[in-house]
Amino acid sequence: MKHIIVVDCISSGTNYIEDIVNRGYKPVILELLPGEANPEEYKQKMQSNYSRIEYEYDIIYEQDTYEKTLETVRKLDPLLIVAGSERGVILTSRLSNDLGLLGTPIKHLDSMTLKDKMHERLAEAGLRHIRGKVVTSIEEAIEFYDSQSLKEVVIKPIYSFCSVGVRICLNKQEMIDSLKEIFNKNNAYGDENTELLVQERINGEEYIVNTTSCEGIPRLISMWKYEKIKTSEGAIVYDTINSVNSLNLGEAEMVEYAYDVVRAIGIEYGPVHGEYMIDDKGPVLIEVNCRPAGLSMKSEYLDMIFGQHDTDSILDSYLNPERFNEQRKQIYRPPGNGTVKLFIAPEDILAKSVPMMNIAPKLKSYFDSTLHKINETELFVKTEDLNTTCGIIFLANTNRNAVDEDVEFLRSVEKNAFQLILSEESDEDKKINKKEIISRLQNLIKSTEKYGHGLLITDQDIPDTNILQLKPENIRRLHGHFDYILINLNKSIMALNDEESIKLIFKICSYIKVGGLVFIPKNTYDYLPGGRKGVEAMVKNSNFNIEAPPFGIKNAVIASKR
């Protein structure tokens, strides 16, 4: 059985393994040395990626010299070598070249990997490119800035990924401040930033165009349009990435330009994950990455949206030219709609629970997420780039409106009740004024009697009322559904973590009839994650409408079941 080697098999590159097996070949992972990364952390990272793979594979390791690695690979007599990530591109190209395997000639490696060289290649080909200069000092940057009469610029390492070290600067002083910061940091691979690329900033709409090439001819796999946010420190962070399903004005021209870019870079075989921008002058390249699209998107997710997935289409370009050419003839018409929502941590968070794990699966377009359970505590640093995104939700639906509604809901939670995403679990010992709670509940119960057959889930017994009362621990005894439910929980919520308290609210809401109401007063929502807005998010997530309160009912969330 012939071997196909995947160099640095991480993120969406892990999808290669299934596709290789399904073609009747033996997959082999070539694991790279950790470089400047902490060896133990690197090992955990790789194991986390490998845990996603459900098929058998062999694994070999990069040696301390290229020559030793080459001999290790040569013994396997591989049919093909592909890069699973950006970090694997250089070694993949060198090995393929030295072993005479299909791939892009090694002479194009710089334009495939270095952000300055790819734009130099575009200039040589007469294609639109971005003005820029590699600088080794702040003085060089100032000289370039002044000589080109620049206003806004972008600073980035010449070899990096995931927007690590990328800064948008609105003026010269911001550029100087950002250079001081980034020159003292390492790039995404852990190497010292001794050179930085200063580029003219292009303002426009940002896209991803994924292609694969066979014998120098590219074909379109997928298109995404993404939205980024600039933080107060000038960092560029991802908000959403949305599938492009039907082309709007200027987007067909961008695809033509993307093909020209691929050919100018010199790609003969394999993928280009290209980042582009469209402004009033038309399309322009931001950068190319010669590997599959990332973000650990599963092949099933991509198939739902585009009817194909990158790694399978890439292998066709090497192994099945006939199918590649058949796919080229197909009209670009994705069957589904997809959005990737990336959560932005506003500050360093020492999280103890992840309530969003219970909320996201209830969304109409939910497919998957990167969220995971926290055993004790986990530090999530303030989001500065793709690597420090604090969680990802993958959404897909044949109905674009359903996806958009879910995105707006997640954005609202992120803005107004971030504790529903990551919770530090407040240690504050909140006081419970039992007498005040009883008085408020008695008044609220009188106001709600007109709504029909009701139930009070309560920590405190409320005297002098005509409503069925039940302790939260006895909910399992309930049978049937109610016209409305009042929730008076405080003491019991304080004994739960935020994930558990959300589950409890969801459970209670399940006993309300369609069209029925839930009343959640202040003496309950003050004890739940996110307070009033957090509770409003919970009931919306449970398929309830938030209702306008009638006069006389105050400090209570009222919602009706759809």
167 & 139 share domain? yes
In 345-453 the beta strands, taken as DSSP E runs, fall at 349-351, 366-369, 378-380, 392-397
557 & 438 share domain? yes
Rounded to two decimals, what is the model's pTM? 0.92
What CATH number should be reported for the domain holding residue 438?
Answer: 3.40.50.150
Q: Where is the domain boundary, 200, 229, 244?
A: 200
CA distance 415 to 229: 13
**How high is the pLDDT of residue 236?**
76
Residue 64 in tokens: 């301390």
Per the CB < 8 A criterion, the answer to whether 256 and 274 are in contact is no
CA distance 188 to 159: 8
Rounded mean pLDDT, 24-34: 98
CA distance 165 to 155: 8
Per the CB < 8 A criterion, the answer to whether 67 and 27 are in contact is no
**How high is the pLDDT of residue 164?**
73
441 & 546 share domain? yes
Q: What angle do CA 198, 204, 209 make, to 5 degrees?
A: 90
Where residue 75 falls among pLDDT bands split at 50, 70, 90?
Answer: very high
Q: Is 515 left (phi over 0), alpha (psi -120 to 50) or beta?
A: left
Q: What is the pLDDT of residues 306-361, one digit of tens each?
A: 999 999 999 999 999 999 999 999 999 999 999 999 999 999 999 999 999 999 99
502 & 419 share domain? no
- Looking at 189-319, list the stretches that DSSP marks H as alpha helix, in order from N- to C-terminal side: 251-265, 299-306, 310-319
Q: For residue 321, tell me if it sits in a domain.
A: no
Partners of 217 in beta bridges? 214
CA distance 441 to 486: 9
Q: What is the pLDDT of residues 403-460, one digit of tens each?
A: 999 999 999 999 999 999 999 987 666 788 899 999 999 999 999 989 999 999 999 9
Q: For residue 15, tell me if it sits in a domain.
A: yes
Q: What is the pLDDT of residues 212-231, one digit of tens each?
A: 999 999 999 999 999 988 77
Q: Where is the domain boundary, 101, 122, 147?
A: 101
Q: What is the pLDDT of residues 105-132, one digit of tens each?
A: 999 999 999 999 999 999 999 999 999 9
379 & 455 share domain? no
Q: Percentage of the chain with pLDDT > 90?
A: 87
- Amino acid (one-letter) located at 498: D
389 & 486 share domain? no
How many other C-beta atoms can be found within 10 angstroms of the C-beta atom of residue 368?
17
Per the CB < 8 A criterion, the answer to whether 162 and 216 are in contact is no
Q: What is the pLDDT of residues 220-264, one digit of tens each?
A: 999 999 998 877 776 778 999 999 999 999 999 999 999 999 999
Q: What is the pLDDT of residues 44-59, one digit of tens each?
A: 999 999 999 999 999 9
Sequential DSSP letters for 421-440 = TSB----------HHHHHHH
**How high is the pLDDT of residue 161?**
67
Closest by Cα among 36, 33, 31 to 50: 31
84 & 157 share domain? no
CA distance 83 to 4: 11
Closest by Cα among 486, 489, 498, 494 to 537: 498
**How high is the pLDDT of residue 384?**
86
12 & 69 share domain? yes
Q: For residue 325, tell me if it sits in a domain.
A: no
Of 95 and 181, the structure prediction assigns the larger pLDDT to: 95
449 & 529 share domain? yes
HEC string of 206-224 equals EEEEEEEEECCEEEEEEEE
Q: For residue 313, tell me if it sits in a domain.
A: no
What CATH number should be reported for the domain holding residue 192?
Answer: 3.30.1490.20
Least confident of 290-304, 352-366, 465-479, 492-506: 465-479
Partners of 197 in beta bridges? 134, 156
What CATH number should be reported for the domain holding residue 27?
Answer: 3.40.50.20
351 & 413 share domain? yes
Rounded mean pLDDT, 273-302: 97
Q: For residue 205, tell me if it sits in a domain.
A: no
Closest by Cα among 251, 266, 278, 262 to 219: 262
Residue 59 in tokens: 């694994």
Mean pLDDT of the chain: 95
Where residue 374 falls among pLDDT bands split at 50, 70, 90?
Answer: very high
Where residue 299 falls among pLDDT bands split at 50, 70, 90?
Answer: very high
547 & 449 share domain? yes
CA distance 91 to 30: 10
Q: For residue 520, tell me if it sits in a domain.
A: yes
Contact partners, residue 9, CB within 8 Å, separation at least 6:
16, 17, 29, 30, 31, 49, 50, 53, 84, 85
Q: Where is the domain boundary, 172, 200, 228?
A: 200
Per the CB < 8 A criterion, the answer to whether 16 and 27 are in contact is yes
**How high is the pLDDT of residue 478?**
82
361: containing domain: 336-425
Q: For residue 231, tell me if it sits in a domain.
A: no
419 & 454 share domain? no
Indicate the number of domains in the chain: 4
CA distance 559 to 552: 16
Q: For residue 331, tell me if it sits in a domain.
A: no
Least confident of 191-200, 224-233, 364-373, 509-518: 224-233
